[in-house]
Amino acid sequence: MPRQTLDSDVQQVFQLIRNADLAVANMEGELANFREFNGPLNGFVGSHEVAADLKAIGFDILNRAQNHLLDSELEGMFSTNTLLDEAGIAHAGSGRNLAEAAAPVFLDLPQGRVAMVGAPGSICSTTLRPSYLVQSNWQHSSKYRKIYKAIA
């Protein structure tokens, strides 16, 4: 397929997203400003410009509770949340503690108010999956990694 046709097809998809009343997606990865980021660059990590790109494409709300939430550890999760906030994209499913991670995010649209509760694709009926677990005491991150590995 010629590049011009491919680009045109991609732009048509972007236009569908932009024209939607509400565009929701699963944020399967992390974002970081590579010049300033002090955490590990593991797994799926995009550059900080991706947050603005997601907004330009037309996404309104993102689910952050997924299996790559902590690929770049807590630093990656917080970096991504900050970049999404700066881009004006609502997000749910992560936070500084369990209550924050499980809280709904609300978005007011011309058609009304919507909410999202971030949840991973698979939830065990008796336990919360690792995506929900967020440490509130950052000084003990090695302890947190041990807990995460034990339940993952």
Full-model pTM: 0.77
Domain ranges for the chain: 3-151
Q: What is the pLDDT of residues 29-54, one digit of tens each?
A: 999 999 999 999 888 899 999 999 99
Choose among 118, 132, 123, 108: nearest CA to 62. 118
Taking the alpha carbons at both ends of the chain, their separation in whole angstroms is 42
Q: What is the pLDDT of residues 117-126, one digit of tens each?
A: 988 765 444 3
The per-residue pLDDT for 122 is 55
Residues whose CB is less than 8 angstroms from the CB of residue 34 and which lie 6 or more positions away in sequence, other chains included: 41, 47, 48
Q: What is residue 152's three-state secondary structure? A: coil
Taking 70 as the pLDDT cut, the residues of the chain under it are 1-6, 121-152
